[in-house]
Amino acid sequence: MIVMTAMKITKNQFILLLVTFGILLAGEIYSDLTQNVIPKEVLAFESHEAFKTKAMYDLYNILGGIFVIMHLMGFIGLFFFWSPARHVFLAAILLGHLIDALVPWSISVGTGWEGMFAGLQSILVGIIAAVSYWPAAYLFEKDEE
């Protein structure tokens, strides 16, 4: 018989996860800015006309703006152990997947560094979301009165 014990994560361990995520996010942003190393012939394959209507393009931009605000609000709130932050962060993750699904087709070109940072960041986002609901949940309980 397997017995689950109360597993907890400390504040410092949780903050270390968040700092690591911030470093990966900064790395992805920086690597995205260095696309000048990609030959222009290859960049020409990147599609910028994935939307058939202006309404879909506008919806994509509005949801993208909401995503950025929610993601920042949730991420910063997690640092301060603000109770709703974990819910906002999880909602931002789900909204990001919805936004990705809105693009009917697209071709994107990036460096290997960009892909590496994006992949590691995706894994860490899932870990942070999961940890904030179980081993670190007690850190957010002080505001839920």
**Residues 66-105 pLDDT 10s:** 999 999 999 999 999 999 999 999 999 999 998 888 776 7
Tell me the average pLDDT of the chain. Answer: 86
How much is the pTM? 0.83
| CA atoms of 96 and 132, how far apart (whole Å) | 19
**Is the confidence at residue 145, as pLDDT, over 60?**
no
Residue 145: Cβ within 10 Å count: 5
- Is the pLDDT confidence value at 144 over 50? no
Asked if 85 contacts 77 with a C-beta cutoff of 8 angstroms, the reply is yes
- Between the CA of residue 23 and those of 27, 42, 70, 128, what are the distances in Å? 6, 28, 19, 14
Query: When comparing pLDDT for 135 and 47, which is higher?
Result: 135
The mean pLDDT of 12-22, rounded to a whole number, is 95
Please tell me the predicted confidence (pLDDT) of residue 4: 45
- Please calculate the CA angle 106-39-22 and round it to the nearest 5 degrees: 65
Band of pLDDT at residue 48, cut at 50, 70 and 90: low
Please say whether the beta carbons of 140 and 132 come within 8 A: yes
Name which residue leads in pLDDT, 112 or 84: 84
Tell me what pLDDT residue 50 has.
Answer: 65
Q: Domain residue spans in the chain?
A: 10-46+107-140, 49-106
